[in-house]
Chain A
Amino acid sequence: MGFSRDLRPHSRRGLRSYMHEHSNGQSGMNRAALFRLPSLSLRFIPVWRRNFLVWRKLAIPSILGNLADPAFYMLGMGYGLGGLLPEVGGVPYLTFLAAGTVCYSTMNSATFEVLYSGFSRMHVQKTWEAILNAPLTLDDVLLGELVWAVSKSLLSGVAILAIVWALGLAGLGQTLWLLPLIILIGFCFAGMGLVMNALSPNYDFFMYYFTLVITPMVLLCGVFYPVDQLPSWLQTVSAWLPLTHAISLARPLVQGGEPQHILAHVSALLAYGSIGYYIALVLTRRRLLK
């Protein structure tokens, strides 16, 4: 016993596995399995339902958190700041703010869900691991998370919309098109956020995303003021951000008009969401199925 016995096989093994590794091309999943397009199956439903049942237990603080923050922003700034302004974009400031707040509240809700809550389930509680031991695949789990985040953000968007209705800022009929739009916004930001979830080593990592992606969007995409107030280079940046596309569709709907360039805006939101979701799926496969 002792060193000689321990060391010799070790170094030999090292060389052999090195050669094996390189003759084989790669370790982990093969490329086809890694980059396969998302499989869409109704098996996502029990995953969605699990999240829904947990949410139901904590619904009141959750709804408050989702609703109160954007609602106070909208009401406080709408009345407070709005009183100082004649009109913004041709309507009272509160009405102007309403469309932005619906979009921004939806974005925030979807983002928080896939970042913090999703990361808890994936990394901290290992809930996904437990599910993957059952006859479900990672594609099912991620689809469940995506649809869940969309559902939760729909609730947040509708909550703001309910305030808009209650205050008589917009009629019910003209704003019904906002419902599919809210779903689309939720999809867009859930898909994007899942990429961060897949990459994150810990909760602190999400600060980068909020500081570098979400906050600029809140400030540059026309939530609080029209984008044309910005210098042209910032307007160019803004045009690339998905929240701008969301608000471009939402604002005319709230104000009773018809949005311009519908196809372009819808395509932009769909593209951000689906490309994000696909990248997230590949990265999550690499992370968990290695």
Chain B
Amino acid sequence: MPLLNIKGLRKSYGALEVVAGIDIAVNAGECFGLLGPNGAGKTTTLRLALGLTAPDSGTISLFDLPVPGKAREARIRVGVVPQMDNLDPDFTVRENLMAYGRYFGLKDAETARRIPALLEFAGLEHRADARIDALSGGMKRRLTLARALVNDPDLIFLDEPTTGLDPQARHMIWQRLRELINQGKTLVLTTHFMEEAERLCDRLCIMDRGKIIATGSPRALIEQHIEPEVLEVVGEEVDAWAEQYGRGLCQRLEKTGEMLFCYTRDSRALLEHLKSQSSLRYLHRPASLEDVFLKLTGKELRD
């Protein structure tokens, strides 16, 4: 039985259908990703799953409890890392964890017993009495993650856990999320970073305009939707080259801005030809989730 089971879920705001009939089943112990551009409906899906808003139609069950009907009871076993940090600025690091434990009905002694391990997990052992505004962005994120673990949840929802962090801070979060996965926790995360999804998720679905347009493991999605090799080509004469040679030398061409993407199953002939084109620069790489994502959601800019 999946820990989180969503069927036929719909939610509209005014005339805009933000979640347009989706099915999601998240099994115990897996890291499940909701990948999509801004406005795809990822955050609304999480809010619905937590019972913070009621669906227009469809069913949600969390730990076999109906949501939103029994959402409060279900949240006893859930941790949440919200998109925007909402730590308590008037409390220290330790006091934030204590206060959050109380919301779960934990006795202060119990929370106090858990705090050293949480601080260690967050790498904040020496910051227990620091004020929140004295923490860096990465530290705040790690504390928010530690706070989500105060009730020792079985399932953790993370809404864009690394958005706005620098690469070092992002890697520290990823490392901790992998630790949680290794401990057997179930993770549901939203992201628009392909790298994050590719590194962490066992399975993911790609959401666009409220719908799920693909589901599977990162590797399966790449194999299913994209040729294995990509050449990114730029240069002044790239358009002419694409028409004259490129189209014949690869399976599929996509142009985004100045960049031409050539997708191919066998790049040898293409590479050979490009070596002789002094006006073009190119990069040869294996296909990634990003290519799948761009193919399925389109390359236009979204606001």
B-binding residues in A (CB < 8 A) = 1, 5-6, 9-10, 13-14, 16-18, 20-21, 24, 27-30, 33, 43, 46-47, 49-50, 53-54, 57-58, 125-127, 129-137, 289-290
Given contacts A17-B12, A133-B80, contact A27 B56 (CB under 8 A): yes
Chain B residues contacting A1 (CB-CB under 8 Å) are 254-255, 298-300
Asked whether A134 lies within 8 Å of B104 as measured between CB atoms, the reply is: yes
Q: Does B32 make an interface contact (CB < 8 A)? A: no
**Contact mask for chain B residues 11-31; partner A; CB cutoff 8 A; 1 contact, 0 none:** 111111100100000000000
Best-buried of B50, B53, B102, B209 by chain A (most CB within 10 Å): B102
- CB of B254 within 8 A of CB of A136, answer no
Question: A1-B299, A137-B72 are contacts. A17–B90 as well, Cβ < 8 Å?
Answer: no
- Looking at A5, A17, A20, A47, the one whose CB has the most chain B CB atoms below 10 A away is A17
The CA of A142 and the CA of B259, in the complex, are separated in Å by: 53
Question: Once the chains are docked, how many angstroms separate the CA of A136 from the CA of B76?
Answer: 9
**Partner pick for A28 among B20, B54, B87, B88, CB 8 A cutoff:** B54
Closest residue on chain A to residue B85 by CB atoms: A126
Interchain Cβ contacts under 8 Å between A and B, 19 examples: A1-B300, A10-B209, A20-B17, A21-B56, A24-B12, A24-B57, A28-B13, A29-B54, A46-B105, A47-B103, A53-B91, A54-B88, A58-B90, A127-B86, A133-B75, A135-B72, A135-B105, A289-B53, A289-B54
Cα distance, A54 to B90, chains bound together (Å) = 6
Question: Which among B10, B17, B57, B82 has the greatest number of chain A C-beta atoms within 10 A?
Answer: B17
4 closest pairs, A vs B, by CB?
A: A17-B17, A134-B103, A46-B102, A126-B86
Q: In the complex, A134 Cα to B102 Cα: how many Å?
A: 10
Q: A132 and B52 in contact (CB under 8 A), knowing A6-B298, A126-B86, A290-B13?
A: yes
Q: How many residues of B contact A (CB 8 A)?
A: 44
Given A125-B89, A137-B72, verify A131-B13 contact (CB < 8 Å): no
Partner of A21, one of B12, B91, B95, B104: B12
Question: Once bound together, how far apart are the Cα atoms of A118 and B209, in whole Å?
Answer: 35
Q: Does residue B100 face the partner (Cβ distance < 8 Å to A)?
A: yes
B14 partner, pick from A27, A29, A30, A137, beta carbons under 8 A: A27
Q: In the bound complex, how far is the Cα of B76 from the Cα of A137, in angstroms?
A: 12
Q: Which of A28, A43, A130, A132 contacts B100 (CB 8 A)?
A: A130
Given contacts A17-B15, A126-B84, 16 further A-B contacts (CB under 8 A): A6-B298, A13-B17, A17-B12, A17-B20, A20-B10, A20-B56, A24-B57, A28-B13, A33-B54, A49-B99, A57-B90, A58-B90, A130-B87, A130-B88, A135-B103, A289-B54
Q: How far is the CB of A118 from chain B (nearest CB, A)?
A: 14
Shortest beta-carbon distance from B269 to chain A in Å? 25
Q: How far is the CB of A142 from chain B (nearest CB, A)?
A: 15
How far apart are the CA atoms of A33 and B53 in the complex, in Å? 10
Contact, CB under 8 Å: A28 / B17: no
Q: CA A62 – CA B139 in complex, angstroms?
A: 30
Please tell me if the beta carbons of B90 and A135 are within 8 angstroms of each other in the complex: no
- Contact code string B176-216 (vs A, CB < 8 Å = 1, else 0): 00000000000000000000000000000000010000000
Residue B266 lies at the interface, judged by CB distance under 8 Å to chain A: no
Say yes or no for B73: interface residue by CB 8 A criterion: yes
Contact of B75 among A10, A43, A125, A134 (CB under 8 A): A134
Contacts of B82 in A (CB 8 A): 126, 129-130, 133
B75 to chain A, nearest CB (A): 4
Chain A residues with CB under 8 Å of B151's CB are 134
What A residues does B16 contact at CB under 8 A? 17
Tell whether, in the assembled complex, residue A21 and residue B14 are in contact, meaning their CB atoms are under 8 Å apart.
yes
B86 & A49 in contact (Cβ 8 Å cutoff):
no
B11 x A27 contact (CB < 8 A): yes
Q: Which of B53, B86, B103 contacts A46 (CB 8 A)?
A: B103
Residues in B whose Cβ lies below 8 Å from that of A29: 53-54
Name the residue of chain A whose CB is nearest to the CB of B16.
A17
Shortest Cβ distance from B211 into A: residue: A13
* Min distance, Cβ B81 to any Cβ of chain A, angstroms: 9
Which of chain A's residues have a CB closer than 8 A to the CB of B12?
17, 20-21, 24, 27
Complex interface: chain A residues within 8 A of B89 (CB): 125
Q: Mark B103-124, 1 if CB is under 8 A from A, else 0.
A: 1110000000000000000000
Contact indicator B54/A50 (Cβ below 8 Å): no
What residues of chain A lie closer than 8 Å to B50, measured between beta carbons? 133
Complexed CA–CA distance, A133 and B209 (Å): 25
